[in-house]
Amino acid sequence: MTPDTSWLSAREQRAWRGFLHMHAELTARLGRHLQAISELSLADFEVLVALTDVPEARRRVLELGRDLQWEKSRLSHHLTRMEKRGLVAREECPSDGRGAFVVVTDAGRAAIDAAAPAHVTEVRRLVFDVLDAPAVDALGDMAERVLARLDEDECPG
């Protein structure tokens, strides 16, 4: 038999479905857990992590969007909601009048500081406790390779 390129091999299918299934279950579980221990959704948490990752916890909206891989309008709407709740604030960009900065507020910082330890414990418990070091590195390598492929594919040369 010639290999059938119109579907995945059994081995690939197992990996692909496992990947999708694992992501779906994990984010559902982690999201519920986060809601239970804090006032934050997984999306809120991601935004706060991306901000507090960086000096002064202040970033340009576009940059934040690239990092999160969110549609710009989704990000804008989400920031508006988070701003109303006092978790972040927008500031003008002095060097480019079109641009905007987002900053974490004290309340935002307090919220992520309060939620992070329990959230991380849950991630560790559900994921890293069942993976050994080679598996962790294999996952990191895999993501790196796929993301590189996606990147090179974006700007076809």
Partner DNA sequence: TAAGATTGAATTCTCAATCTTA
Partner DNA sequence: TAAGATTGAGAATTCAATCTTA
The residue within the footprint of DNA, chosen from 50, 57, 75, 104 (CB under 7 A), is: 75
43 binds, among its own copies, DNA, none (CB under 5 to 8 A by kind): DNA
Alpha helices in the chain (DSSP H): 10-37, 42-52, 61-68, 72-84, 106-126, 133-154
* Cβ nearer to its own copies, comparing 61 with 68: 68
Dihedral angle at the C-alpha atoms of 108, 110, 29, 143, nearest 10 degrees? Answer: 70
Of 82-90, 94-102, 103-111, 134-142, the segment contacting its own copies by CB under 8 A is 134-142
* Cβ nearer to DNA, comparing 55 with 134: 55
Of 5-13, 79-87, 108-116, 121-129, the segment contacting DNA by CB under 7 A is 79-87
Chain positions 96 to 125 lying near its own copies, rule: CB under 8 A, are 116-117, 120-121, 123-125
CB 81 within 8 A of CB 63: no
CB count in 10 Å sphere of residue 112: 21
* Cβ nearer to DNA, comparing 100 with 116: 100
- Give the separation between CA 140 and CA 133, rounded to whole angstroms: 11
